Amino acid sequence: MRIAMWSGPRNLSTALMYSFAARGDTRVVDEPFYAAFLAKTGDDHPLRDEVLNSQPTDPNVVAKSLVFPILEPVFYQKHMTHHMQEDWPTHWMEEMRHVFLIRHPARVVASYAKKREAPLLADLGFAQQAELMKRTETPLIVDSSDIRHNPAEILQLLCDKIGIQWTPKMLHWPKGGHASDGVWAKHWYGAVHASTGFGAREPDLPVLDGDYARLADAAMPYYEALAAQKIMI
């Protein structure tokens, strides 16, 4: 089973990768197209040079690695939607079970802005997520807040719909990160490295103003369209 988990940044995506890695039957890969994305776009991201030196920058090479035979029963692939470029290969996507991880834009903007100032809508992946979903068959959508509120039941439901067995091992992982972390982990993953499981129920939505409020408003239609189709208990 090959799972492509699609999200934008600051969406609980790393914690969910750790959750699947804790199963014991799963190989995980962390944002395999990141270096190719940076090479293609020239975007100035934190640790840019380190990322470029750590992964293949040819998207065709990356695509082949995602469908290459592996020994583990489950291959979990953590993908950022904004990494995917229009002229890149998509044949590998036919081999995947696609899941889309979403989060309320206000929470995403507030969290992202702490790590990288002045984000644009394109940096957050909402529009790309909606577009990618149109290109997949029978996609699943799960909300990160639902996982935080009720991880055991939501993950059981998700596993059932994916077609893999649920295990309570998915609720906990070792503190300090995972061997499959990308080199960018030291900038972005501090909170999840300090964790051993999913955090408590999320607080009220953060209050944004100015450009950040406008950015969250611009992302809302995409989020709402996806959230209307999310899996629910």
pLDDT at 161: 97
* Pair of tokens at residue 23: 């199963």
Helices and strands, number each (H, E), in the chain: 12, 5
The Cα–Cα gap between 67 and 91 comes to 10
Could you tell me which CATH class the domain 2-227 is placed in? alpha beta
Instruction: Please report, for residues 6, 62, 84, 134, 168, the alpha-carbon distance to residue 127 in angstroms, rounded to integers and kept in the order given.
Output: 12, 23, 12, 11, 33
Crossing angle, helix 34-41 and helix 59-67, to 10 degrees? Answer: 160
Q: How many residues does the chain have?
A: 233
Average pLDDT over residues 37-56: 96
pLDDT band at 169 (very low <50, low <70, confident <90, very high): very high
Q: Say how many C-beta atoms besides its own lie within 10 A of residue 52's C-beta.
A: 16
Q: Which residues of 195-228 are buried (b: 16+ CB within 10 A; e: fewer)?
A: beebeeeeeeeeebeeebeebbebbeebbeebbe
Q: Where are the domains of the chain?
A: 2-227
Q: In the chain, what's the furthest Cα-to-Cα distance?
A: 50
Average pLDDT over residues 5-25: 96
Instruction: Concatenate the DSSP letters of all residues of 67-84 into one string.
Output: HS--SSSEEEEEEEGGG-
pLDDT at 135: 87
Q: Are 123 and 9 in contact (CB under 8 A)?
A: yes
pLDDT at 23: 97
pLDDT at 199 over 90: no
Average pLDDT over residues 112-119: 84
pLDDT at 119: 87
pLDDT at 115: 84
Residue at token pair 């009220």: 204
Average pLDDT over residues 45-70: 97
